[in-house]
Amino acid sequence: MKINEIAFSVYPVTDMARARKFYERILGLVVTMDHEMEDCHWVEYDIGPATLALGNAEGMNPSSDGCSVSLEVEDFDQAIAELQEAGVEFGFGPIETPVCHMAFVKDPDGNSVGIHKRKPGHG
């Protein structure tokens, strides 16, 4: 098997309308696909060459302990200020490392979403 790339990352959500408010209104993502099937509602956001998806289906369970996606932002301090102003719960940070600034926030289902900014020369 040869893996070429990550096709998409997905967060399980329990309430699609509530989740979309967070990802679209607070994070500012734009829907590129919204598909409702008999047993599943799937929404996608293309971000650069990658895709972040939200899925609502039996067997998909949100978790604050699972894998998380980190979103690269243009202005880290501004992003943190906007999230704090919106009352978003922070799970970790913000912190600074030798190569980046990062924080992790919680979506409405408790999924951990990273907010990230690489320092010049690291990327």
Pairwise CA distance, residues 2 & 30, whole Å = 31
Domain ranges (residues) in the chain: 9-118
Q: Are strands 112-118 and 69-72 parallel, antiparallel or unpaired?
A: parallel
As a whole number of angstroms, the longest Cα–Cα distance in the chain is 47
Is pLDDT at 73 greater than 80 in this prediction? yes
Single pTM value for the model = 0.88
Each residue's pLDDT tens digit, 97-120: 999 999 999 999 999 999 999 999
State the pLDDT at residue 31.
98
Q: What percent of the chain has pLDDT over 90?
A: 87
Q: Indicate whether 8 pLDDT > 80.
A: yes
pLDDT for residue 3 is more than 80 = no
For residue 121, the model assigns a pLDDT of: 86
Averaged pLDDT, 47-76: 93
> What confidence tier does 88 reach under pLDDT thresholds 50, 70, 90?
very high
Tell the CATH topology of 9-118: 2,3-Dihydroxybiphenyl 1,2-Dioxygenase; domain 1 (3.10.180)
3-state secondary structure of 77: helix
Q: Does the structure show a pLDDT above 80 at 52?
A: yes
> Going along 1-89, which residue ranges are E strands?
9-12, 33-36, 40-47, 50-57, 69-72
